[in-house]
Chain A
């Protein structure tokens, strides 16, 4: 399987007055063409920073300090700023958690979509707006032609996210990164947004990296899943394999904490303890402090990512 995107040893650190926060500290990931990869983890685990690092959208005080991000044979971290700008939107696009604030409040919707065609494809304004109408139809916006003149504040959260999807997919990128795309929209609309996202990516043959804390979303959509904890990927497998046979104690903890329809439980199980500080370096396994199956070596040696198709960073799994 040739991969579309391969991340190796990515480290993104933030300099703060309290010390260096190793938000992403050695992440490896791959995604195949047309695949949907779910990246899950608690907030603060580094999943969003990983996503932003791919597009090199890390702002000060953050910095990518090491790693390779190989996209279709080119290392994105070695490209010039200009080349990177070319990649954004054309080859890799991204949608964000807060759709309403991710659209420019003083620019009309139509212009925000058409801008792409005018600048990148050299279309006339009229032709670009026609394209925008098609895109809005594709993502299920009612009466798209009249929506072109709307401003973002006139849209609902769900509609805004559809517009964001339309903008992101306008130039048929090969990879779409969706960062918590449904967290900020009404529960009733979440499923629709996810369906639009999946269908549009399948139609265009684009790969999708779906960053979320919601295992339910991953179960619905993802082909493969990467579980992140404290700045690292701790388990990576196909969705079916991961849910049936979780190998890392953290993944098992996550799955136990998931409420299930039809199962009446006394209370939701939670993982005891808190995510360790990402400032002080940790000897051994990062999850050791919260792990119920801890071995003596867990606090001394750093476990490697082991396995063939189903990888996990745990001594127990080996």
Chain B
């Protein structure tokens, strides 16, 4: 098991190097931009060139790129992600609390998505072709066709314009309710579809008939015997959906004014604040790599057939 995790970790090394290279390129845009901006139109070309060269030397920009990259990686490892040009605060401080907010939102949404998506998928498969199946299938088709931002705005329209709830929404965990439910319902649609087709396949398997033959009641049949098998398919799609979920979180944050990483990222692009952008990419990628690792390990736990001593 430990060997497997270590091997899995080794496989993430190229990913991390790739991410560092990309963010390094982004960060390299900062000093040049800042320096040029600083001297723009204030001095002669000659003076500016001297000043820029001095600046470049100060930032170490006259060294070969791999030395610069080395410095960059050392900094990142020590938690130095640079300083925001806009707010003049360390990037890590800017991202810190927002990171937790985003985690909160995505986990709550994932929970909603899993409960709604998996449950409706199970019911649709179990009562195949019934009105419940037709409803669930139709709604999920609507769901996967619905742009997240439009759905979010619709929710706001309904709750704030018609029901007039939104302004009285207090801060705290109830503030999480609406954004998390919105994001969760969007993500539930593809989950429901996958769960339904996985369940349909599993309900036709020999072991399900054998379980019925020994008199396992319907409910246990569904939740004790079929569901654990279907969860494998669900885990796969959840793994693949994490990217989608994060993208959705960005949109929902912007719409609901949720102070998360996504909202910050959109502003950073607008401000051309490259330090924050590269910080978000770094931290986001690190989170993603970790989550993927966790999911792979969870896999071995859900499916006893996976042999983690090999490959």
Contact = CB atoms under 8 A, between A and B. Distances in A.
On whether the two chains bind one another, the answer is yes
Interface of A: 55, 57, 59, 81, 85-90, 93-96, 98, 101-107, 115-116, 119-120, 151, 153, 164, 167-168, 170
Interface stretch (B114-122, B130-138, B191-199, B213-221): B213-221
A101 B205 contact: yes
Interface string B70-97: 0000000000000000000000000000
Contacts of B304: 105-106, 151, 153
Contacts of A98: 206
Given A107-B225, A151-B304, A102 B210 contact: yes
Contacts of A86: 215
The 6 closest A-B pairs by CB, nearest first: A89-B215, A88-B215, A102-B210, A89-B214, A94-B213, A151-B304
Given A85-B215, A120-B215, A168-B214, A106 B206 contact: no
Contacts of B302: 106
A57 B206 contact: no
A104 B206 CA distance: 9
Contact of B229 (A85, A103, A106, A115): A106
B207 A104 contact: yes
8 contacts: A55-B213, A57-B212, A87-B215, A88-B214, A88-B215, A89-B214, A101-B205, A104-B229
A153 B305 contact: yes
Contacts of B224: 107, 115
Contacts of A55: 212-213
A89 B217 contact: no
Contacts of B242: none
A102 B206 CA distance: 5
Contacts of B204: 59
Nearest to B232: A106
Contacts of A90: 215
Nearest to B206: A101
B209 interface: yes
Interface string B282-303: 0000000000000000000011
Contacts of B214: 88-89, 93-94, 116, 167-168, 170
Nearest to B303: A106
A88 B213 contact: yes
B305 A57 contact: no
Contacts of B229: 104-106
A119 B207 contact: no
Contacts of A168: 213-214
Given A119-B220, A151-B304, A151-B305, A104 B225 contact: yes
Given A101-B205, A104-B211, 17 more contacts: A57-B209, A59-B204, A85-B215, A85-B217, A85-B218, A88-B213, A88-B215, A89-B213, A89-B214, A93-B214, A102-B207, A104-B207, A105-B207, A105-B303, A106-B303, A119-B217, A164-B210
Given A119-B216, A120-B215, A153-B305, A107 B210 contact: no
A317 B213 CA distance: 38
A55 B232 CA distance: 30
Contacts of B215: 85-90, 116, 120
A107 to B, nearest CB: 7
B228 interface: yes
Contact of B210 (A87, A96, A151): A96
Contacts of A164: 210
A269 to B, nearest CB: 34
Contacts of B210: 94-96, 102-103, 164
A105 B305 contact: yes
B228 A106 contact: yes
Nearest to B217: A85
A120 B217 CA distance: 10
Contacts of B305: 105-106, 151, 153
Given A88-B214, A89-B215, A116-B214, A103 B207 contact: yes
B216 A115 contact: yes
Nearest to B231: A106
Contacts of A95: 210
Nearest to B229: A106
